[in-house]
Amino acid sequence: MSTLTLRQEPPERLDLLHVTPLSLKGLSEAEAARLPVGTSRRGLTLGDCFTVSLDGSDTLTIEGGSSRLDRVGASLGGGAIRVVGDVGQRLGAGMASGSVTVTGSAGPYAGSGATGGTITIEGDAGDHAGGAVYAAKAGLDGATLVIRGSAGDYLGDRMRRGTILVGAAGAHAGSRMIAGTIAALSVGDHPGYGMRRGTILAGGHGALSPSFVETGTHDLVFLRLLARSLRALSPAHADLAAGALKRYSGDLATLGKGEVWVAAG
């Protein structure tokens, strides 16, 4: 297992886009230490901020986190990255496969544009987790994003494919959703605002937009399959999917083929 140990809080934001197990595999520790990671004129390198220990494996551990560590795992195409602590914005953004695990919390836009693999945040996530960055056509695009704590507003904004599982989410979860599945124990106001397709499963919710129409309580094979797929990620979410659910269809102000399932009663 290769290890990067953070010496102290970085003096500026660091861009770890190209710091992955694959990119480090063919480098010596001295070569890896010279990789540029700074975002200012200081020209900071990996060795300026981290103690580098490499063994050529497919697993990378970052010991010591910071909200200034941006784009961790964003170019990951295989292997695993584990961060002991917090990270900054765009965690795992655009990753294609592999796994990224953060024991702390993450900043905004976690998982944006990720097409494969699994991103797990043991703490909380900022706004737009799984959402589209500025001018992007889609947010999460096939990966699995698991947030054990809470997420901010606009979770899964313009999400196109994949699964997001979260404890609690803020307002406008699943806004402008194109497709995919969001499962939350609770969401804030206006879940699914502007969604075209996709599924939102929520144990509790705030105000629903008037452009969603209740279609009754259903017992569908789809829900049983969803519960089965969620069981390995979170028994609480699986139990929610397996329980009595009420369905709302919408957003009828757009294409109207999305759905919001909420706990009945």
Query: Are 121 and 141 within 8 A, CB to CB?
Result: no
Query: Are 175 and 193 within 8 A, CB to CB?
Result: yes
Q: Which residues pair with 14 in a beta bridge?
A: 38, 69
The pLDDT assigned to 75 comes to: 87
The pLDDT assigned to 26 comes to: 85
Secondary structure of 218-256 as H, E, C letters: CCCHHHHHHHHHHHCCCHHHHHHHHCCEEEEEECCCCCC
| Centroid of chain to Cα 187 | 16
Query: Are 205 and 223 within 8 A, CB to CB?
Result: no
Q: Which residues pair with 102 in a beta bridge?
A: 83, 121
Residue spans of the chain under pLDDT 70: none
The one-letter code for the residue type at 201 is: L
Q: What is the pLDDT of residues 215-255, one digit of tens each?
A: 999 888 999 999 999 999 999 999 999 999 999 999 999 99
Query: Are 239 and 263 within 8 A, CB to CB?
Result: no
The pLDDT assigned to 135 comes to: 87
The pLDDT assigned to 152 comes to: 98
The pLDDT assigned to 112 comes to: 97
